[in-house]
Structure 1
Amino acid sequence: MTNVKKRVKLKSLSQGRPRTVKPVSSLSSKATRTLIRKHHTLEKQRAKALADGDEAKAAAIAKQIELHGGLESYQHASLIGQSNDRGGDSSKILMEWFAPILPALKEHAASGQPIRMLEVGALSVTNACSKSHLFEMERIDLRSQAEGIKEEDFMERPLPRDDKDQFDIISLSLVLNYVPDAIGRGKMLERTLKFLKARQYPEGGLRDFLPSLYLVLPAPCVTNSRYMDESKLEAIMESLGYVRVKRKLSNKLVYYLWRAVAPVPKRTTAFKKVEIRSGKNRNNFAIVLA
């Protein structure tokens, strides 16, 4: 009797993550990087095992993840990486980019109608955007690390009923790269459009920046991937109806601000997982849009 493996579809990002255990209390810079890389590798292997229907292998990998500290240790390492002595939090870049529209942002905040921001994968309530008091912040993460962060999977968040449930800015800082498969990353990017307001912003230069998606990725996702470079990423984003407003590349990260155009154009191009760079030292980061 043959054993046919049943393929299992990952319905949400949380399905690709195991339960967590208590994290270590402190990590060196090298240990932080090692833990984060190891966690990403194991999560991708586990997601593939689940997609292939190999539950025994997925369970074995989940056990390895637990032995390495689980999601909480990953979040702990990420928080250490955001500390000032490790380079600071990524929202500082966004605040720098918003310098030309600070008067308009302050006017909205003073009027009691602040610009709304959804921070997906939030780890802290004291980052630069939060401390500016210029935004109405909503923070979500799969495992809340602090009061003020709602425990929620963005891919399972109820769709907006009206613009009161939508946002002017969505932040995906080091979130998209955590999604364990290329198709899931494409779906996450598509889903962001449903949560962004479609209104126009005539005053104070806001229309040049909003509504927008703040996207932060590890630099190698676009500089050293077999399947992705910046030209392809820009083509994917433009096909979704985004135009690039800002970009910054550092040694470790790449930061983007993408403005959503209205109305959203009808997408006619599919983006598949196609090799564009060869070499054994490349990573496999990819985004697929059907």
Structure 2
Amino acid sequence: MAPQKRTKRPGLLSTGRPPIAKSKDAALSAKATRTLIRSHHRLLKTKAQALKAGDEARVSSIEAQIQANGGLESYQIASKLGQSMDRGGDSSKVLIDWIQPELKQFNKGMPKLRVLEVGALSTKNACSMNAALDVTRIDLNSQEPGILKQDFMERPLPSSDDEKFNMISLSLVLNYVPDAAGRGEMLKRCVQFLTTKSAFEFVPRLFLVLPIACVDNSRYLNEKRLGEIMNSLGFHLTQSKRTSKLVFHLWEHTGEYSPRAFKKEELRSGKTRNNFAVIINKK
């Protein structure tokens, strides 16, 4: 098979996303949903390694496997099902629960809190349905009106505070970035999109959701190291929650920004560990 033409630049979220394919039946079982999502992530990691090695033939082969699994649209169907009410999904419900005491201060006529939801899959989640929030939704492959087709790493930087956001949601997004340095750049970029102003005394925040294995079973990342990374970017952890599969964090930004370098170094040993990591470069 001849290699497919690739036009995406390295470092963008799109370099790690599977190609779009024709829609599959959305009636997947919970087990099939998990299997499809795991398969996509596994193939994406292998593809990132092949890209780094410059192995075009391997990249083409992996893309063919991703396409055979249904491509990006099939992955997003599985993700939507995983977030459906009957499967205990919609991570934004956790976010709303955490900030509800402050949202109660909101009255009609007051400026809404501006929220940037990266990797949005629905316009009807808890975050989008809250009257106090003005949500901007972006995703690499918009699945419905109201979600802008956009790569966060290509989104133009704000030219003024009015173009920034009071809150950014990265729910199961950071783990989708195919390389450790790219994850660090995404976290640094979030700071540039957070406002320095407060709306009814609301401190700018980042809502971060990761698979629990990323912090509990990684060779290169644990809760302590993640905290050190976030603190260096000016974030302070205010809320956290764990389930059997996910870890939820809410980080307030202090307004300070003094990133220090964090390299990929082994924090845990063991053959069963995964290689999830976040690298921060000072420049």
- Give the TM-score, by structure 1 length: 0.91
* Counterparts of residues 1-290 of structure 1 (less than 5 Å): 10-25=10-25, 26-104=27-105, 106-107=106-107, 110-200=108-198, 203=200, 206-207=201-202, 210-262=203-255, 264-267=256-259, 269-290=260-281
Q: Distance in 1 between matches of 2:18 and 2:34?
A: 20
Question: What is the CA–CA distance in structure 2 between the aligned matches of 1:89 and 1:103, rounded to whole Å?
Answer: 21
Deviates more, 1:44-53 or 1:180-189: 44-53
**Which amino acid letter does the alignment assign opposite residue 103 of structure 1?**
K
Aligned residues: 273
SS at match of 1:136: strand
Secondary structure of 2:127's aligned partner: helix
Partner of 2:4: none
Q: Residues 83-139 of structure 1, C-alpha deviation per residue, up to 9 Å, x if partnerless?
A: 1111120000011101221222x23xx125100000000000000011122211100
Q: Residues of 2 paired with 1:9 and 1:183: CA distance?
A: 15
Tell me the residue number matched to 1:3. Answer: none
Distance 1:159 1:33, change over 3 A: same
Deviations 1:220-255 (A, max 9, x none): 111111111100000000011100010001111100
* Amino acid of the structure 1 residue aligned with 2:12: S
Asked if the contact 2:114–2:165 (Cα under 8 Å) also holds between the matched residues in 1, the reply is: yes
The answer to whether the 8 Å contact 1:9/1:51 transfers is: no
Secondary structure class of the residue paired with 1:19:
coil
Q: Which one-letter code corresponds to 1:287 in the other structure?
A: V
CA contact (8 A) 1:9 1:50 kept: no
- Select between 92-101 and 167-176 the one with higher mean Cα deviation: 92-101
Does the residue aligned with 1:32 lie in a helix, a strand or coil?
A: helix
Q: Which amino acid counterpart does residue 236 of structure 1 have in structure 2?
A: I
Q: Which runs of 5+ in 2 are unaligned?
A: 1-7
Find the residue that maps to 2:153 and give its secondary structure. Answer: helix
Structure-2 separation of matches of 1:144 and 1:9 = 20
Contact 2:220 2:276 in 1 (8 A): yes
Deviating 4+ runs (over 3 angstroms): none
Q: SS state of the match for residue 90, structure 2?
A: coil
> Which structure shows the bigger proportion of residues in helix conformation?
1
Q: How far apart, in 2, do the equivalents of 1:88 and 1:39 lie? A: 19
Question: 1:38, 1:23 → 2: CA distance?
Answer: 17
% of aligned pairs identical? 53
Q: Contact 1:94–1:214 (CA<8 Å) still a contact in 2?
A: yes
Amino acid at match of 2:258: K
C-alpha RMSD over aligned residues: 1.4
Deviation of the 1:9 alpha carbon: 6.8
Counterpart-to-counterpart distance in 1, 2:18 and 2:39? 14
2:3 paired residue number: none
Q: Could you state the TM-score of these two structures normalised by the residue count of structure 2? A: 0.93
For the 8 Å contact 2:92–2:125, the answer to whether it is kept is yes
Where 2:50 maps in the other structure, the secondary structure is helix
User: Are the aligned partners of 2:180 and 2:278 in contact in 1 as well (CA < 8 Å)?
Assistant: yes
Cα deviation per residue 1:152-172 (whole Å; 9 max; x = unaligned)? Answer: 000000000101210000000
CA contact (8 A) 2:237 2:249 kept: yes
Paired residues of 1:10 and 1:51 also in contact (CA < 8 A): no
Q: How far apart, CA to CA, are the structure 1 residues paired with 2:267 and 2:23? A: 38
Residues of 1 paired with 2:122 and 2:248: CA distance? 19
Kept in 1: contact 2:19–2:66 (CA 8 A): no
* 8 Å contact from structure 2 (residues 9, 15) kept in 1: no
